Structure 1
Amino acid sequence: MDYSEFKAFDNLNTEIIILDGDDFKLLWINDAAKAANWIGDSSKFEDKSISSLLNEETGLQINEILQKTRENSGSVTRRDFEIVHQSGTMRSVDLTITFAEKKNLIFIEAVSIDNLNKIIDSTRSFSTQKIAAGLARTLAHEVKNPLSGIKGSAQILKSKYVDDFSKKFLKIIEEETDRLNEIVTRILTPAKKPTFEYFNLHESLQRVLALSNAESQENLSIDRDYDPSIPEIYGDKNLFIQALINITQNAVHACTNFAENPRLGIQTKISYRQPINGTVHSTLAEIIVKDNGPGISPEIKDQIFFPMISGKENGSGIGLSISQDIVRIHGGAISFDRKDDQTMFSILIPISSSNINGVKSA
C-alpha cells in the first residue's frame, strides 16, 4: 500500500496512528505521535501490534475498543483515557478510534490532555504578562515627570544650603532620582527595530559566557551540553545575546554567592510540539540555563518576568523583563522551573521547516 497519502497527517498537532483493520498491526504513525513516544526509541514500527507499544492493561483495553469499533463499523471516543506506554510513561488523552471499512483501516487520534493544558497555560501566561508589562509602562510614564521636579528642587536647595549635612542628603536625593529615572527610561524606551539574519547559536552562547564574566569566575564550574544538529537561528544576534546575558548573569550571581560548589549549566537541544501563546510549534530550539543557587522566592515566582520585580536585594527587576520582550520578538517563549536543586530558565525559539532544510547546523 502507498502510504504517501498519509503524509498530510504530519502537519497535524494531534497524534495519528493508522492500523491494519484485520490484525491491528501498525501501518503508519505521524510525527506528533512519534514525539509523544508511542514507539519509544525504535525507528521501525511496521508489523508491530498496537498493544505491544503499551503495558498489558492498556493494551487489552485498546484491543477491546478496536474490536468494538470494527464490529460496529463506526467511531468510538474515550475522554480522559489513561494510556500507559511500554516505557512506563502515563498520559491522559482524548482518544478517537475510527474504522474505515472500504480501506480496511483503523485510524486512532489521540489528543493529549497535558498538551491542551500547556496550550491554555501558555496563552494565559502570555496575556497576563502582556497586561502587566503595559501597566508597568503606564506607571513609568506617570513617574517620569515628578522625578524631574524632585531633582530640580534638590539642585535649587543644594545651591542655597551649603553645609555638609544638607549637601550629603541632597546628593542622595539627586543620585537616587537619577537611578529611578534611568530605570523608568529603560521601561519606556521602545526596543530598536531588530535586524534579522541567520546566526550561529553556539557561537553566541560562547560570547554570552565571556560577556557575563562567567568564565572569569575561578570557583565556578561551567557545564556545556550543546546539540550540534540545531540549525542556525533566524533573528537579531545582538538582541538575542543581550537576552541571554541577562539570564546568565542572574544564574552566575545566584550560584557563586550562595552555593558552596557553584555550577552553571548551558544546554541546547531540539524540542518538539511545544505551545507558545496557544500555538503548538512542531520543531523548536531550546536553550536551558541552569544554576545550583537558592532558587527564586515563592512570593515572586509568578511575577518574575514582570518589570520592577527582582529576587536580588539591589536588583532593578528590568533584566528578565527585557529578555522576555526580546524572546517574544523572535516568536519564542521563556519560562523557569526548579528541579533537582537547580533553577532552570528555558528559552524556546520556533524553527521553520525552511530553516531546518536550508541552513547549516549551529
Structure 2
Amino acid sequence: MGDSLVPHKLLLDNLTTAIILLDQQLCLEYMNPAAEMLLAVSGQRSHGQLVSELFTETAESLEALRLAVSEAHPFTKREAQLITTGGQPLTVDYAVTPLPSKKQNHLLIEIQPRDRLLRITKEEAQLSKQETTKLLVRGLAHEIKNPLGGIRGAAQLLSRELPSEDLKDYTNVIIEEADRLRNLVDRMLGSNKLPELRPTNIHEVLERVCSLVKAETDDVITLVRDYDPSIPELIADREQLIQAVLNIVRNAMQAIEGQSDLRLGRITLCTRALRQFTIAHVRHRLVVKVDITDNGPGIPSELQDTIFYPMVSGRAEGTGLGLAIAQNIISQHGGLIECDSHPGHTTFSLYLPLEQGATS
C-alpha cells in the first residue's frame, strides 16, 4: 500500500471501523485489523485476492463496485447481507469512496457491522419485557398467596369440626389444591436464593444434563456433543446452570416427542468461546456460547416472542415455567438466552461471561 494513498496507516490500523482498500481490478491492497476481525481473514494472506473471495453479496453489488471505480461514483448501502469465506452471515452498512490517482483508481470501503446493534436492540427489548413480567408476576403472586393461606387455614379448622371422616375428604381436596397453587406461584417467582458462585466447568454441567436425559429416556434419544475443550472455567452456580440447561433440553425432548417417536430425535450441545461480546450494555472480553439444538417441529411463530413468559407453552399439558426459570437463572449470572426456530431446527443459545472484568 503506497504512502501517497494512505499517509496515516497507523491511524487506520487503530480504527474500530473496518477499512478495506481495493485496486481498480477490485483486488485487496489493504485491510485494517478491524476488517480482519470482522471478516475473519488475514489481510496479509488475502492481499491481491478479489473482493468476491473475501465475502460474497449480490451480483448487483459487485457491478456497483465496478461502476464506482470506473466512474468515481461513491455510494452507501444499508443493511447489506454479506457471507464471509467461513460461511458466517453478516448484516452491515458500508460506504464506498473512490480514490482517483495518476497510476490507477482505488476504492476505499468502510464497513460498519449492524448485527451487534440489532442484537443489542432486540436484547434490550427482551430484558425490558422480562423485568415487566417479573413485576407483574410478583404482584399477582402476592394477591394469590394471601387468600390461599386464608382458604387453607379455614379448611383445616373446618376439618377439625366435621363429625364424619368421610366429609374430611372434601376439606383435604381444598387443602391439597391450595398447596398446589402455592407451589405453582413459588415456581413462577423463581428461587430467592442467590447463586453460589464458584469456578465451574461448563462441560461438566452439560455432561450432567446428558446423563439425566439418558436416564429419563432410557437412552433412546440421540445426543450429539460438539465441545470446545479450550474453554476455561466460568464463575457460576453449578446446580443452577444444570437446572437451566436441563429445562431447555427437556423442552426440546417434549417438542420432539409431541411430533414423532423420541428415537428419531436429535439434540446437539455445542460450546464456543466468543470475544468482545456485549450483554446488556456490558462488553465482555470473553463469553461462552452454549447452543442447544433439536430437530423437533419448531416453535410456532406466534409464540416465539413470548416463550420466556411464565405460563406460555406450546403444549396443552405444559406449565410454561421451564424457559422462564432458565432465563431467570441465566440473567442472574449476567448472561443472555436467545432463540432461533423454524420447522426441523430450533436452537437456544446461552451466553455466559467467562470473566468478571467487563467494560460498558
Q: Is TM (by shorter chain) over 0.5? A: yes
**2:21 matched residue in structure 1:** 19
Equivalents in 2 of 1:131, 1:254: separation in Å?
28
Cα offset, 1:29, TM superposition: 3.9
Cα offset, 1:242, TM superposition: 1.9
**2:4 matched residue in structure 1:** none
Q: 1:354 to 1:90 in 2, by over 3 A?
A: closer
Which SS does the other structure have where 2:231 is aligned?
coil
Cα offset, 1:192, TM superposition: 2.5
Does structure 1 retain, via aligned residues, the 8 Å contact 2:134–2:189?
no
Which SS does the other structure have where 2:46 is aligned?
coil
Higher relative contact order (Cα pairs below 8 Å, separated by 6+ residues):
1
Q: 1:117 to 1:251 in 2, by over 3 A?
A: same
Map 1:155-234; keep pairs closer than 5 Å: 155-163=156-164, 166-188=167-189, 191-214=192-215, 217-234=218-235
**Cα deviation digits, residues 287-342 of structure 1 (max 9, x gap):** 12233444445554332211233344444333322211111122221122323513
**1:8 matched residue in structure 2:** 14
Map 1:134-173; keep pairs closer than 5 Å: 134-163=135-164, 166-173=167-174
**Cα deviation digits, residues 196-241 of structure 1 (max 9, x gap):** 3332211111112223455752422222222223332232322222
AA at the equivalent of 2:111: A
Cα offset, 1:286, TM superposition: 1.8
Equivalents in 1 of 2:329, 2:206: separation in Å?
16
**1:291 matched residue in structure 2:** 294
Does structure 1 retain, via aligned residues, the 8 Å contact 2:272–2:289?
yes
Cα offset, 1:27, TM superposition: 1.8
Cα offset, 1:137, TM superposition: 1.2
The percent identity for this pair of structures is 32
Equivalents in 1 of 2:240, 2:353: separation in Å?
17
Map 1:1-362; keep pairs closer than 5 Å: 6=12, 8-9=14-15, 12=16, 16-19=18-21, 25-31=28-34, 34-36=37-39, 39=41, 44-50=45-51, 52-53=53-54, 54=56, 57-65=60-68, 78-80=76-78, 82=80, 93-97=92-96, 107-163=108-164, 166-188=167-189, 191-214=192-215, 217-256=218-257, 258-260=259-261, 261=263, 262-271=265-274, 276-277=279-280, 284-298=287-301, 300-351=303-354
Equivalents in 2 of 1:164, 1:114: separation in Å?
67
**Cα deviation digits, residues 89-127 of structure 1 (max 9, x gap):** 8866422346899xx997532234554433322211221
Equivalents in 1 of 2:199, 2:217: separation in Å?
29
Which SS does the other structure have where 2:230 is aligned?
coil
Which SS does the other structure have where 1:301 is aligned?
coil
Q: Which runs of 5+ in 1 are unaligned?
A: 356-362
**1:359 matched residue in structure 2:** none
Which SS does the other structure have where 1:266 is aligned?
strand
Q: 1:89 to 1:218 in 2, by over 3 A?
A: closer
Q: 1:81 to 1:209 in 2, by over 3 A?
A: closer
CA RMSD, aligned part only?
A: 4.0
AA at the equivalent of 1:334: I
Q: 1:329 to 1:31 in 2, by over 3 A?
A: farther
Equivalents in 2 of 1:61, 1:248: separation in Å?
47
Equivalents in 1 of 2:356, 2:145: separation in Å?
45
Q: 1:8 to 1:240 in 2, by over 3 A?
A: farther
Equivalents in 2 of 1:241, 1:249: separation in Å?
12
Equivalents in 1 of 2:80, 2:190: separation in Å?
50
AA at the equivalent of 1:326: I
**1:360 matched residue in structure 2:** none
Equivalents in 2 of 1:300, 1:59: separation in Å?
39
Which SS does the other structure have where 2:30 is aligned?
strand
Equivalents in 2 of 1:332, 1:210: separation in Å?
24
AA at the equivalent of 2:205: S
Does structure 2 retain, via aligned residues, the 8 Å contact 1:91–1:112?
yes
Which SS does the other structure have where 1:303 is aligned?
coil
Equivalents in 2 of 1:200, 1:173: separation in Å?
45
Q: 1:20 to 1:248 in 2, by over 3 A?
A: closer
Does structure 2 retain, via aligned residues, the 8 Å contact 1:223–1:263?
yes
Cα offset, 1:278, TM superposition: 5.8
